[in-house]
């Protein structure tokens, strides 16, 4: 079921299995039939650990969403609340418990806190007078969730906001705890590198926790050689840029949540002759995206401009495979062909799906993308239709936006008010798009001149409403927007030293990570790359320009656990992005893992998978939302 987790360099299925085992144990503690009341936020992350079938095997008969009032009637013995430790949720639970129907046969109540029990919450339940109504109060330590074969996420949406805006380091504590769990399963990580305040804090907590657990020595041969902790605010630029990998674009345009994407259904309708466009489905098409799907694993990290060729190549292979049936003469051959059919059909469906998705994306990005489509087989023939006018306009918008982004990243006129941004505001384009661009300009210019900054801010407030003054204030607090304090703009130095801009990015056959943004090499990944070779000592000067301290720590291994590396064996590095990581950055790291002479393979962990839009959104304050 989760085989794709075990394909990678590190078998992340161990982690998933450990999590599943713990869940089963808890469910068995509450004997008899049960209903689960969910903190809605948790259902997505839980889906990555266990499907409904597992719950059902353990007598979970009903599921509800946590809300005020009474828990809906259900003829079960146990009601279990799965919640995050939040005070406001405790109040709802208390209400639920108190309004329980006294006439019905009594149901037992339980709470499962995810990821950790909280004294504060229990205190609140006590104040509300319901603490004693619970038979079991337990915690389910779910910090790092295996997301894919080389990817772990805490799925903690507000981590960046909490750490950098509100100075609330709860998620960092969970990070440290999660890394301790990981080390318990995969061995102590001997080397820790880091850059940024939060990274320093996490490393300190880890070292402290290790001291605290002294005595229960970990006897597992280390799987990871190095841990690299990176603060998101070391590289504020990358998430602002539009991702240009296939997966990155899917996320930019449709948003991937907990490994699923919802797509407009029209292009997925089964086209049967004679039916015309009668019964177009209206429900969005929901697809799971991970490396379990062979084709997706192959194309997800490609620059979108290379996806067309890959799809057409795949189409040819599949057609050829289907053609094989004509060559199958003997019963044995036919039998062999038939045995491969399910696999081939799955591959064909997968191809059809991704062709549709690529088509959807192309509609939006066409001026950017330069598909060579003529060679595609009959699967793709509708690609060749001339695009309708409306999509030509959207694609133009996409292209213009990209052009401006690239101007900023290469340092063109970043110190002046940008007319494109002004025009976008005039047209009242989506606010988040404006904020992304303005922030990007600010970051690429190491702050904006006070006059320029005030102009943008005023334009935004007048157009989108005064209430956004709070959001702008937040962006300033986290450093995405700032007035220029010194006249020296150090971004060009950083760009040149770290080679963040590559003029001749090869999208089809990349030779550098810059292909993921068609020219821009993500700073975070460049730092990771340089750490592996030749080491950070070579870039001391630039590191000093980036915020927060950089450091190196070593964790003593018990004797006998020192790894003897085989000749040519790659090192394994866990890169932890505190505050979020984009799909394009992941793609870049995967590219580095696959480089023949790279010498390092990467596993990626993060608090949350983000893109510019979801990131900025998490930093917005919307007072009007509180009225309703």
Partner 1 sequence: MWKSGVVKQLGWTVCDDLLCIQEDGTVLIYDLFGNFKRHFSMGNEVGQSQVVEAKVFHSPYGTGVAIVTGASRFTLATNIDDLKLRRLPEVPGLQGAPTCWAVLTQDRQSKVLVATGADLFILDYTSPPGLSPQATSIVHMCVSFSYKYLALFTDSGHLWMGTANLKEKLSEVETKVRNPPKQMAWCRRPKSQQPSVVIMWDGHILVAGECKNTISYHLEGVSILVPELDGVRIINGTHHELLQEVPASCEEIFKIASMAPGALLLEAHKEYEKESQKADEYLREIKEQNLLGEAVKQCVEAAGHELEAETQKTLLRAASFGKCFLSNFPPEPFVSMCRDLRVLNAVRDYTVGIPLTHTQFKQMTVQVLIDRLVYRKLYPLAIEICRYLKTPEYQGVSRVLKHWACCKVQQKEEADEVIARAISLKLGEAAGISYSEIATKAYECGRTELAIKLLEFEPRSGEQVPLLLKMKRSQLALSKAIESGDTDLVYTVVTYLKNEMNRGDFFMTLRNQPVALSLYRQFCKHQEQDTLKDLFNQDDDHQELGNFYVKASYKEKAQIGHLQSAVDEYNKAKNEFAAKATEEEMRLLRFQKKLEEEKGESLVGFSLHDTIRTLLAVGLHKHAEQLYKDFRVPDKRYWWLKLTALAEKEDWEEIEKFAKSKKSPIGYLPFVEICVKHHNKYEAKKYVSRVTPEQKVKAHLAVGDLEGAADAAIERRNDGEISTVLSRCSPSTDRALVERLNRAKATAAKK
Nearer to partner 1, 431 or 521 (CB): 431
Under rule CB under 8 A, residue 168 binds partner 1: yes
Please give the full DSSP string across 128-186, using - where no structure is assigned.
TT-GGGEEEEEE----SEEEETTEEE---TTHHIIIIIS---HHHHHHHHHHHHHHHHH
Here's the x/- map for partner 1, 15-34, by CB under 8 A: it reads as -------------x--x---
CA dihedral sign of residues 24, 28, 33, 39: negative
**CB of residue 120 vs partner 1: minimum separation in angstroms?**
4
Report d(CA 289, CA 303) in Å as an integer: 17
Buried b (16+ CB within 10 A) or exposed e, 34-56: bbbbbbebbeebbebbbeeeebe
Under rule CB under 8 A, residue 487 binds partner 1: no
Please give the full DSSP string across 334-353, using - where no structure is assigned.
HHHHHHHHHHHHHHHHHHHH
State the number of binding residues for partner 1 (CB under 8 A): 55
Query: Where does this chain touch partner 1 (CB under 8 A) — which range of 116-124, 241-249, 354-362, 540-548?
Result: 116-124
Under rule CB under 8 A, residue 428 binds partner 1: yes
- Selected from 7, 464, 536, 551, the binder of partner 1 by CB under 8 A is 464
**CB of residue 142 vs partner 1: minimum separation in angstroms?**
16
- Selected from 84, 116, 499, 571, the binder of partner 1 by CB under 8 A is 116
488 CB-near residues (< 8 Å, 6+ apart): 446
Distances (CA, A) of 495 to 77, 150, 295, 411, 439: 62, 29, 35, 9, 17
| DSSP 8-class letter at 449 | -
Please give the full DSSP string across 225-277, using - where no structure is assigned.
SEEEEEEGGG--HHHHSPP-BHHHHHHHHH-EETTEEEE-SGGGS---TTTTT
Under rule CB under 8 A, residue 463 binds partner 1: yes
- Selected from 43, 170, 191, 406, the binder of partner 1 by CB under 8 A is 170
Q: Which helix (H) or strand (E) holds 53?
A: helix 52-57
Query: Where does this chain touch partner 1 (CB under 8 A) — which range of 311-319, 424-432, 501-509, 539-547?
Result: 424-432
- Selected from 19, 131, 172, 402, the binder of partner 1 by CB under 8 A is 172
The closest of 72, 80, 76, 81 to 33, measured between CA atoms, is 76
Window 125 to 164, contacts with partner 1 (CB under 8 A): 135
Under rule CB under 8 A, residue 403 binds partner 1: no
Nearer to partner 1, 473 or 511 (CB): 473
Burial class (CB in 10 A: 0-12, 13-18, 19+), 430: exposed
Nearer to partner 1, 85 or 149 (CB): 85
Query: Where does this chain touch partner 1 (CB under 8 A) — which range of 19-27, 186-194, 285-293, 460-468?
Result: 460-468
Angle at 507 between CA 314 and CA 391, to 5 degrees: 80
Under rule CB under 8 A, residue 88 binds partner 1: yes
Under rule CB under 8 A, residue 118 binds partner 1: yes
Under rule CB under 8 A, residue 166 binds partner 1: yes
Report d(CA 271, CA 351) in Å as an integer: 15
Distances (CA, A) of 421 to 252, 274, 398, 444: 19, 48, 13, 15
- Selected from 15, 34, 60, 85, the binder of partner 1 by CB under 8 A is 85
Nearer to partner 1, 17 or 91 (CB): 91
SS3 for 314? helix
- Selected from 34, 107, 457, 550, the binder of partner 1 by CB under 8 A is 457
- Selected from 427, 537, 554, 564, the binder of partner 1 by CB under 8 A is 427
β strands within 9-87, DSSP E = 34-38, 60-65, 78-83
Nearer to partner 1, 215 or 560 (CB): 215
Report d(CA 179, CA 188) in Å as an integer: 10
Report residue 613 as tokens: 């839009």
Query: Is-contact 604 575, C-beta < 8 A?
Result: yes
Here's the x/- map for partner 1, 491-530, by CB under 8 A: it reads as ----------------------------------------
**CB of residue 88 vs partner 1: minimum separation in angstroms?**
6
Window 205 to 224, contacts with partner 1 (CB under 8 A): 205, 208, 211-216
Query: Where does this chain touch partner 1 (CB under 8 A) — which range of 19-27, 113-121, 234-242, 569-577?
Result: 113-121
Nearer to partner 1, 59 or 298 (CB): 59
Under rule CB under 8 A, residue 475 binds partner 1: no
Nearer to partner 1, 28 or 279 (CB): 28
Window 605 to 624, contacts with partner 1 (CB under 8 A): 621, 623-624
536 CB-near residues (< 8 Å, 6+ apart): 193, 527, 530, 543, 550
- Selected from 1, 98, 120, 545, the binder of partner 1 by CB under 8 A is 120
Q: List the beta bridge partners of residue 285.
A: 263
The closest of 537, 614, 498, 508 to 235, measured between CA atoms, is 498
Binding site for partner 1 (CB under 8 A): 28, 31, 85, 87-88, 116-120, 123, 135, 166-170, 172-173, 176, 201, 204-205, 208, 211-216, 422-423, 425-428, 454, 457-459, 461-467, 469-470, 473, 621, 623-624, 626-627
């Amino acid at each position: 079921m989760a085989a794709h987790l075990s394909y990678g360099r590190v078998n992340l299925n161990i982690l998933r299995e450990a999590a599943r085992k713990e869940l089963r144990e808890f469910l068995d503690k509450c004997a008899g039939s049960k209903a689960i009341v969910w903190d809605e936020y948790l259902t997505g992350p839980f889906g990555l650990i266990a499907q409904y079938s597992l719950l059902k095997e353990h007598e979970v008969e009903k599921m509800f969403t946590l809300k005020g009032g009474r828990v809906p009637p259900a003829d079960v013995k146990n009601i279990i609340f799965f919640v995050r430790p939040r005070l406001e949720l405790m109040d709802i639970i208390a209400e639920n418990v108190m309004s329980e129907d006294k006439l019905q046969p009594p149901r037992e109540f339980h709470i499962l806190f995810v990821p950790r029990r909280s004294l504060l919450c229990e205190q609140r339940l006590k104040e509300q007078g319901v603490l004693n109504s619970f038979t079991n109060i337990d915690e389910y330590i779910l910090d790092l969730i295996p997301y894919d074969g080389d990817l772990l996420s805490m799925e903690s949406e507000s981590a960046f906001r909490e750490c950098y805006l509100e100075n609330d380091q709860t998620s960092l504590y969970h990070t440290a705890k999660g890394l301790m769990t990981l080390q318990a399963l995969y061995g102590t990580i001997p080397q820790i590198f880091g850059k940024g305040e939060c990274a320093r804090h996490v490393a300190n907590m880890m070292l402290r926790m290790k001291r605290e657990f002294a005595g229960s020595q970990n006897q597992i041969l280390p799987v990871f050689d190095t841990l690299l902790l990176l603060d998101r605010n070391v590289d504020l630029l990358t998430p602002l840029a539009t991702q240009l990998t296939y997966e990155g674009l899917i996320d930019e345009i449709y948003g991937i949540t907990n490994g699923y994407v919802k797509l407009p259904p029209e292009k997925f309708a089964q086209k049967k002759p004679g039916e015309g466009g009668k019964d177009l489905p209206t429900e969005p098409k929901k697809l799971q995206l991970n490396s379990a799907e062979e084709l997706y694993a192959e194309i997800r990290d490609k620059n979108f401009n290379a996806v067309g060729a890959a799809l057409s190549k795949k189409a040819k292979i599949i057609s050829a495979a289907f053609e094989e049936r004509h060559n199958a003469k003997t019963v044995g051959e036919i039998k062999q062909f038939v045995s491969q059919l399910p696999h081939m059909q799955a591959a064909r469906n997968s191809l059809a799906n991704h062709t549709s998705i690529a088509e959807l994306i192309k509609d939006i990005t066409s001026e950017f993308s330069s598909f060579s489509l003529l060679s595609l087989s009959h699967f793709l023939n509708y690609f060749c239709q001339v695009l309708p006018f409306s999509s030509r306009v959207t694609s133009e918008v996409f292209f213009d936006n990209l052009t401006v982004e690239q101007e900023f990243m290469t340092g063109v006129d970043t110190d002046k008010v940008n007319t494109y941004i002004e025009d976008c505001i005039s047209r009242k384009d989506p606010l988040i798009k404006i904020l992304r661009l303005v922030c990007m300009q600010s970051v690429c210019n190491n702050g904006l001149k006070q006059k320029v900054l005030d102009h943008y801010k005023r334009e935004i407030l007048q157009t989108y409403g005064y209430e956004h003054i709070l959001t702008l204030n937040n962006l300033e607090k986290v450093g995405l927007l700032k007035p220029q304090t010194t006249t020296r703009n150090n971004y060009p130095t950083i760009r040149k030293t770290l080679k963040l801009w590559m003029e001749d990015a090869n999208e089809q056959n990349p030779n550098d990570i810059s292909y993921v943004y068609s020219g821009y090499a993500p700073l975070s990944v460049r730092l990771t790359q340089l750490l592996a070779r030749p080491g950070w000592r070579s870039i001391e000067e630039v590191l000093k320009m980036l915020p927060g301290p950089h450091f190196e720590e070593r964790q003593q291994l018990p004797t006998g656990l020192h790894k003897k590396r085989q000749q040519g064996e790659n090192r394994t590095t866990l890169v932890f992005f505190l505050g979020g990581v984009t799909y394009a950055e992941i793609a870049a790291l995967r590219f580095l893992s696959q480089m023949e002479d790279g010498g390092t393979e990467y596993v990626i962990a993060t608090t949350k998978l983000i893109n510019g839009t979801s990131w900025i959104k998490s930093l917005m304050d919307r007072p009007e939302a509180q009225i309703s």
